[in-house]
Amino acid sequence: MRVSMMATYVAVIVMSMILLSVYIIGALTENLYNSERVKLFAKANIISDLITTTDDITDETQLSINQILSGSNIRSIIVSPDFRVCLDTNEDSDLIGKVIMREAINKSMKDKEQAFAINENDDNNTAMMSVSVPLIANEQTVGAVYLVESLSDADMTIRNIRKNLIVFAVIISILVAMLSLGLSLMTTAPIDNFIGVAKEISKGNFNIKAKEKGPAELVEMAKALNYMSAELDDYEQNRKKFVSDVSHELKTPLATIKLICDSIVTTDNPNPEMIQDFLGDLSDEVDRLTRIVERLLTLTKMDSNQNNASPTPVDFVVMLNAVIRKLTPNAEAKNIVLYSDYSVDSLEPMLLDYDKIWEAVYNIVDNAIKYTPEGGFVKLGLELKGKTVSVRIDDNGPGIPDEDKERIFERFYRLDDSRARDTGGTGLGLAITREAVLLHGGEISVGDTPEGGSSFVISLPYAVSGVQG
pLDDT digits (tens, 9 = 90+) for 207-250: 888 888 777 887 888 888 888 888 888 777 767 766 766 676 67
Residues 141 and 16 in one domain: yes
Q: Taking the model in full, what pTM does it have?
A: 0.46
> Residue 203's pLDDT band (boundaries 50, 70, 90)?
confident
**Residue 149 in 3-state DSSP?**
strand
41 vs 38: CA distance, rounded Å: 5
Q: Is the pLDDT of residue 379 over 70?
A: yes
pLDDT digits (tens, 9 = 90+) for 113-167: 888 788 766 566 778 888 999 988 877 888 888 898 888 888 888 888 888 888 8
E strands, 214-368, in order: 312-314, 337-342, 350-352
Residue 203 lies in a domain: no
76 vs 58: CA distance, rounded Å: 15
Q: For residues 28 and 50, is the Cβ–Cβ distance under 8 A?
A: no
Read off φ and ψ for residue 40, nearest 5 degrees: -65, -45
> Residue 382's pLDDT band (boundaries 50, 70, 90)?
very high
Residues 226 and 286 in one domain: yes
Lowest-pLDDT range, 24-38, 86-100, 131-145, 412-426?
412-426
> How many independent structural domains does the chain possess?
3
The predicted structure's pLDDT at residue 420: 46
> Residue 320's pLDDT band (boundaries 50, 70, 90)?
very high
Average pLDDT score over the chain: 81
C-alpha distances (whole Å) from 344 to each of 55, 108, 340 are 126, 108, 11
Residues 53 and 19 in one domain: yes
> Residue 412's pLDDT band (boundaries 50, 70, 90)?
low
Burial (CB count <10 Å: 0-12, 13-18, 19+), residue 272: exposed
Q: For residues 38 and 134, is the Cβ–Cβ distance under 8 A?
A: no
Residue 349 lies in a domain: yes
Burial (CB count <10 Å: 0-12, 13-18, 19+), residue 243: exposed
Residues 140 and 74 in one domain: yes
The predicted structure's pLDDT at residue 3: 57
DSSP 154: H
Q: Is the pLDDT of residue 202 over 90?
A: no
Chain center to CA of 223: 16
Q: Is the pLDDT of residue 380 over 90?
A: yes
β partners of residue 395: 378
β partners of residue 119: 128
C-alpha closest to that of 235 among 327, 303, 139: 303
What's the whole-number mean pLDDT along residues 96-111?
86
The predicted structure's pLDDT at residue 6: 61
Residues 299 and 324 in one domain: no
**Which residue range forms the structural domain that includes residue 457?**
312-461
